[in-house]
């Protein structure tokens, strides 16, 4: 069974976890960053096909936007693409620079939900270095890619079990 998240999965869970602070999940060429909140962004263009001939995207990333700043999260530690930076002009930003997801894992969309939920609901904070820290004990939120994947997979399973 695949751990890939669809945009409809991310939108359903994002709204449940973060309420009105959650904006949307879309591909990078369809995202329009106009309102402060949480955006989950697929780095593949909407019309582009993946290696298996399907649509649906290649890698999810996320963005927490305020009126004057932003935080960009990519579980592989890459900076935001230029398309996003163009829409964020005038805002100060920081991005997460660590690799926290194993390369063979396809849980990236759930990493985004996990991180953005923790930030929006006060369970994590962003340090000046772009790292994520637990607000409970001030320790790094992620320390080992394989342990991280186990925690995020449990988070995903809890989301799927929950029936409102």
Confidence of residue 48 (pLDDT cuts 50, 70, 90): low
| pLDDT beyond 80 at 53 | no
Kindly state whether residue 152 falls inside one of the protein's structural domains.
yes
Which domain, by its residues, includes 129?
7-161
Number of domains in the chain: 1
Mean pLDDT over residues 52-79, rounded? Answer: 86
- Check residue 93 and give its pLDDT: 94
β-bridge partners, 140: 133
Examine residue 102 and state whether it is found in any structural domain, yes or no.
Answer: yes
Q: What's the number of CA atoms in the CB half-sphere (13 Å) around residue 9?
A: 16
In a domain, 58, yes or no: yes
- Whether residue 52 is predicted with pLDDT greater than 80 in this model: the reply is no
Q: What are phi and psi of 62, to 5 degrees?
A: -145, 160
CATH of the domain at 15: 3.40.395.10
What is the tens place of the pLDDT at every residue in 137-159? 999 999 899 999 999 999 999 99
């Amino acid at each position: 069974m695949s751990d890939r998240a669809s945009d409809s999965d991310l939108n359903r869970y994002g709204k449940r976890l973060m309420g009105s602070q959650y904006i949307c999940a879309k591909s990078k060429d369809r995202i329009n960053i106009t309102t402060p909140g949480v955006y989950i962004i697929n780095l593949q263009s909407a019309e582009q096909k993946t290696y298996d001939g399907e649509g649906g995207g290649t890698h999810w990333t996320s963005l927490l936007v305020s009126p004057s700043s932003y935080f960009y999260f990519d579980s592989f530690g890459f900076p935001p693409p230029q398309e996003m930076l163009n829409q964020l002009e005038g805002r100060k930003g920081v991005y997460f620079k660590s690799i926290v997801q194993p390369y063979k894992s396809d849980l990236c969309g759930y990493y985004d939900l996990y991180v953005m939920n923790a930030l929006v609901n006060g369970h994590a904070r962003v340090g000046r270095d772009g790292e994520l820290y637990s607000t409970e004990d001030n320790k790094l939120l992620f320390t080992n890619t394989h342990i991280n994947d186990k925690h995020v997979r449990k988070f995903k399973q809890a989301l799927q079990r929950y029936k409102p």
